[in-house]
A and B are shown apart, each in its own frame.
Chain A
Amino acid sequence: TQLLKQSPQFLSIQEGENLTVYCNSSSVFSSLQWYRQEPGEGPVLLVTVVTGGEVKKLKRLTFQFGDARKDSSLHITAAQPGDTGLYLCAGGSSGNTGKLIFGQGTTLQVKP
């Protein structure tokens, strides 16, 4: 069974601080995605990484896929209150089913 463990589960920081969220597994994934979910809404895709060692940047967010394609990290620089939300990593399972395995999420609160 493929599982993804996210850490930390909860994070409360002040505006302007940096943070990193980790997503780890013992399984290899064909791709790794990060989503952000706000209360009362569905998750929204932030980024997809598909190549081992790949790094992608989205403004103040930096995403990295591990060399062995088993783990990923999300780094936010100079966090802002607008970054508050639930961050979910999701791994693409093998085969052509389109199935995603989700981590349990990291709830981020950025205080002004």
Chain B
Amino acid sequence: DTAVSQTPKYLVTQMGNDKSIKCEQNLGHDTMYWYKQDSKKFLKIMFSYNNKELIINETVPNRFSPKSPDKAHLNLHINSLELGDSAVYFCASSPWGQSAGGYTFGSGTRLTVV
């Protein structure tokens, strides 16, 4: 039973398209995150939600819109995709405010914009 599951695993799309990535966790955690990992493997936070409320929004273009219908789900919608959006996007979860407890990551969505 996967703790944090993301879909799809791979996404190849053309510039200008709109796409969504879905994430679900069954750990009962209150906080969920989206991180972007670039081609140099650097992980940078994009958003976090605590129990459906947006907590962190890190200077991400407003083409990216997260949505959390409930505390177990966090989706990411991207409008007007650009070449520079190509990266691996990771969803993660943790107990509320407890980064010390560590994150549980999903296995990532590799987005390629052509």
Interface centre among A86, A90, A96, A97 (most CB of B within 10 A): A97
B103 near A100: Cβ-Cβ < 8 Å: yes
Residues of chain B within 8 A of A41, CB atoms compared: 107-108
- Give A33 to B98 CA distance when docked, in angstroms: 12
Q: Is the CB of B102 within 8 A of A97?
A: no
A29: shortest Cβ distance to chain B, in Å?
9
Complex CA gap A44/B103 in Å reads 8
A42 touches B96 (CB 8 A): no
Interface-central residue, A43, A90, A98, by most chain B CB under 10 Å: A98
B48 touches A97 (CB 8 A): yes
Supplied contacts A45-B104, A98-B96, A99-B56, 17 more A-B pairs, CB within 8 Å:
A30-B99, A41-B107, A42-B4, A42-B106, A43-B90, A48-B101, A86-B41, A88-B43, A92-B100, A96-B96, A98-B31, A98-B50, A98-B98, A98-B99, A99-B45, A100-B103, A107-B41
**Are B42 and A98 in contact (CB-based, < 8 A)?**
no
Given that A30-B99, A88-B43 are known contacts, is A42 also in contact with B56, CB under 8 Å in the complex? no
Nearest chain A residue, comparing its CB with the CB of B105 = A42
Contact call A31/B107, Cβ cutoff below 8 A = no
Closest Cβ–Cβ distance, residue A84 to chain B (whole Å): 14
Assembled-state Cα–Cα distance A100/B45 (Å): 8
Chain B residues, Cβ within 8 Å of A86? 41
Task: Report yes or no: B97 in contact with A50, Cβ–Cβ below 8 A.
Answer: no
Closest to B95 in A: A98
User: Residues of A with Cβ closer than 8 Å to B?
Assistant: 30-31, 33, 37, 40-45, 48, 50, 86, 88, 90, 92-93, 96-100, 102, 104-105, 107
Which residue from B45, B56, B94, B105 sits with its C-beta under 8 Å from A43?
Answer: B105
- Say whether B55 faces chain A, with CB atoms less than 8 Å apart: yes
Cβ contacts under 8 Å, B100 to chain A: 30-31, 33, 48, 50, 92
- Chain B residues with Cβ below 8 Å from A42 are 4, 90, 92, 105-108
Interface flag for B63 (CB, 8 Å):
no
B44 at the interface (CB under 8 A from A): yes
How far, in Å, is B7 (CB) from chain A's closest CB?
Answer: 14
